Amino acid sequence: MNRHVRPPYIGAAYYPELWPLAEVENEIARMHELGVNCVRVGEFAWGRMEPREGEFDFAWLHEIVDKLYAGNIAVILCTPSATPPKWLTDTYPETLNVQSGGLASQFGGRCHVCKSSPVMREKNRIITRKLGEEFGKHPAVIGWQLDNEIFHYGNGCHCPLCQKRFRRWLEQKYGTIEQLNAAWGAARWSLEYDSFDSIIPPRHDTWNHPSLSAEWLHFQDDTICDYIREQAEVLRAYTKAPIGTDMMLPLELSHTQMNESLDVAQVNHYEPAADLYKTAFIYDLMRPIKDRPFWNTETQAGWNGSNFAACRFRPAGNCYVNTWMPVAMGAEMNLYWLWRAHPNGHELAHGAVLTSAGRYYHIAGEIARAAAEFKACSSFLQETRVRSKIAMHSSATAAVNFAVAPMVEGFNYRERLVDLHAAFRHCNVDLIDTAHSLDGYDTVLSPYLTTVDENGLKERVMAWVEAGGTWIVGPMADTMTDYTAKYTHAPYGFLEEFAGVYTRYQLPLETDTIRLRTSDGEEWPASVCYDAYELRGAESLAVYEGDILAGYTAIAGRRVGKGRVILVGCGLRGEDLFRLAGAVPSAEASQNVRVVARTGERREGIIALETENAAGFLRLDGRYRDLVSGEEVSGRVEIAPYAVRVFEKLAG
């Protein structure tokens, strides 16, 4: 490990293979100017590492990494597997990804190979092992990134091997073809399969069975998790530094499963300025995955773009807050993409820290400022953590179910969760998948959690409620198996009984004619779907109004042991869910200010981040010190547009 570099890390992806070797000295000097202390290297550089099959060249990379080490720049080394050189697909054309419809993908971009190909996997292990051998013990290397933004692109690989693997995968899950036919209801439309061997993956131009489409997605997920797991295993023999893979945010990807074989959650994200507040969703999702700070491996410096600069203009200060936000919320790293803009090729119009000509973009000052402040707050950030008493489920299984069967026109699971989550901007909340433990949470929210009965969650959540937890569940929760089938004995698997209701009617189409009246007399809008309950032991917390479901219960609550279950029958606004959860803000603040509470064994404090480029405020309860200015503050504090304020609580 690089002992001279301390977190938080700030830096960028750096592609020295594209520039004359001599440039590295200048680049390091620039990094020092800005306070940058970490770079990612090696990503995509397979061609330079192994220019011809079996011929390796790491001398150039050693020179780079040595110089970075000498310059006190921490290094994250990347496996280059996302971009195999042309010799791989020229020599082994069977490694090419096959599109739905039968056309092999064409070399020329990235991610054009089959993720299961044995030849590709072998070449992959070799280059990974070589990297491990060469750099596994290098003191500059603080961690590893595997592949790049891995996901089941397009519709997955349809090569004969993947088709065969899919059949075996289904056989393992369903046992017999009769069980699969029954589970999928294949009798309808005479779709019964004779054998697993007769199953074919869903084709893009076919009206596909949703269970088939869902399993194909789950299978893709397993394939790429296995692909990453294999790389991690190879590397572990050579390194003690943490290993991860820089993930994108499609919720259909099981971030939890992906990280089972890994050490550190890594995430890449790009959003327009107006969506800055939504990035909190990302951090609350990454933080609980591993019991250590996560890495924000990519975000835009000024803008993103491939052949054109995109995602709209960002006002001054936006880059600064975007840099601070992951670190405030639980990351120990924020890296930009990229250090110096390419002069050509794919993504030649992407924003960066430096232009192709090696000059700073205007955001350099904001980066330097964040770097300096990271340094000033370093010990506070390392000695405190973000802890939550509230968790909200974000489920890969639900995401897959909704991807193949959104159930209600226009319904988008991800957008809905992000919207609900945004209401929790003044209190810490964890976003967890179903496999995650419920220990330590007071309240768990499970909106749109189609599948409760997986990963033992059903039994665990019932016991956790019994022991005192408050579970706010629904709408659309417990309505589906993990193969996209509804229950036939009741609308829910077990929730009617557990929550003490009988579902009289179900209406899954949004309308503005139905509203809620809470037992406190408040009127709330309802959306998406409307399950109407009769009480069988529960108490009514809200009833429907309108011409169709008037008088039926929309929200039902019931004590269970020391805890409580609250069943929600319809879509709620985030602010109403917040109130239903009895959530308590970490501090009073204006809506444009995100409040993050950090606690440690001996220190605690609050970080306030303004995300809307407007004036805001925070009200501190007690005496605090501003760790950047050094001033002592208390009471109402003005938060300037795009300001970040770090307040440590003072004793007494």
Q: Which of residues 162-201 bind a second copy (CB under 8 A)?
A: 183-194, 198, 200
Evaluated on CA atoms 245, 249, 252, 255, the torsion sign reads: positive
CA proximity to 42, closest of 152, 141, 119 = 141
Query: Which listed range, 2-10, 44-52, 137-145, 437-445, lies at the site for a second copy (CB under 8 A)?
Result: 44-52
Q: Which of residues 568-627 bind a second copy (CB under 8 A)?
A: none
What is d(CA 510, CA 490) in angstroms, rounded to the nearest whole number? Answer: 22
- Asked if 395 interacts with a second copy (CB under 8 A), we say no
List Cα–Cα distances, 356 to 23, 436, 487, 565, in angstroms. 12, 44, 58, 57
Q: Which of residues 246-285 bind a second copy (CB under 8 A)?
A: none
Q: Which of residues 360-379 bind a second copy (CB under 8 A)?
A: 360-362
For the bound state, the minimum distance from the C-beta of residue 245 to a second copy, rounded and expressed in Å, comes to: 18
For the bound state, the minimum distance from the C-beta of residue 384 to a second copy, rounded and expressed in Å, comes to: 33
For a second copy, the closer of residues 43 and 648 by Cβ is 43
- Asked if 105 interacts with a second copy (CB under 8 A), we say yes
What is d(CA 641, CA 652) in angstroms, rounded to the nearest whole number? Answer: 31
Residue 137 CB coordination number (10 Å): 12
Q: Which of residues 280-339 bind a second copy (CB under 8 A)?
A: 302-303, 305-313, 315-316
For a second copy, the closer of residues 213 and 254 by Cβ is 213
- Asked if 4 interacts with a second copy (CB under 8 A), we say no
Query: Which listed range, 106-114, 329-337, 371-379, 629-637, lies at the site for a second copy (CB under 8 A)?
Result: 106-114
Evaluated on CA atoms 436, 442, 446, 447, the torsion sign reads: negative
For a second copy, the closer of residues 172 and 190 by Cβ is 190
> Is-contact 607 328, C-beta < 8 A?
yes
For the bound state, the minimum distance from the C-beta of residue 616 to a second copy, rounded and expressed in Å, comes to: 18
617 φ, ψ (degrees, to nearest 5): -150, 165
Q: List the x/- string, 541-570, binding to a second copy by CB under 8 A.
A: ------xxx---------------------
* 9, 14, 15, 380: which one binds a second copy (CB under 8 A): 15
Q: For residue 42, what are its two tokens?
A: 């090696």
- Asked if 109 interacts with a second copy (CB under 8 A), we say yes
For the bound state, the minimum distance from the C-beta of residue 181 to a second copy, rounded and expressed in Å, comes to: 9
DSSP string over 459-473: HHHHHHHHTT-EEEE
- Asked if 59 interacts with a second copy (CB under 8 A), we say no
For a second copy, the closer of residues 183 and 615 by Cβ is 183
Q: List the x/- string, 404-443, binding to a second copy by CB under 8 A.
A: xxxxxxxx--------------------------------
287 φ, ψ (degrees, to nearest 5): -55, -45
* 7, 8, 11, 85: which one binds a second copy (CB under 8 A): 85
Q: Which of residues 60-79 bind a second copy (CB under 8 A)?
A: none
* 484, 540, 553, 592: which one binds a second copy (CB under 8 A): 484
Q: Which of residues 494-523 bind a second copy (CB under 8 A)?
A: 503-511, 513
* 137, 346, 559, 636: which one binds a second copy (CB under 8 A): 346
For a second copy, the closer of residues 172 and 189 by Cβ is 189
What is d(CA 634, CA 412) in angstroms, rounded to the nearest whole number? Answer: 42
What is d(CA 41, CA 330) in angstroms, rounded to the nearest whole number? Answer: 24
DSSP string over 519-586: TTS-EEE-EEEEEEEEESS-EEEEEEESTTTTTSEEEEEEEETTEEEEEE-EE--HHHHHHHTT---S
Long-range contacts of 580-585 (CB under 8 A, 24+ apart): 580/472, 580/541, 580/555, 581/390, 581/443, 581/445, 581/470, 581/472, 582/443, 582/470, 583/390, 583/424, 583/427, 583/429, 583/443, 584/427, 585/426, 585/427
For the bound state, the minimum distance from the C-beta of residue 333 to a second copy, rounded and expressed in Å, comes to: 23
Q: What is the CA radius of gyration of the chain?
A: 26
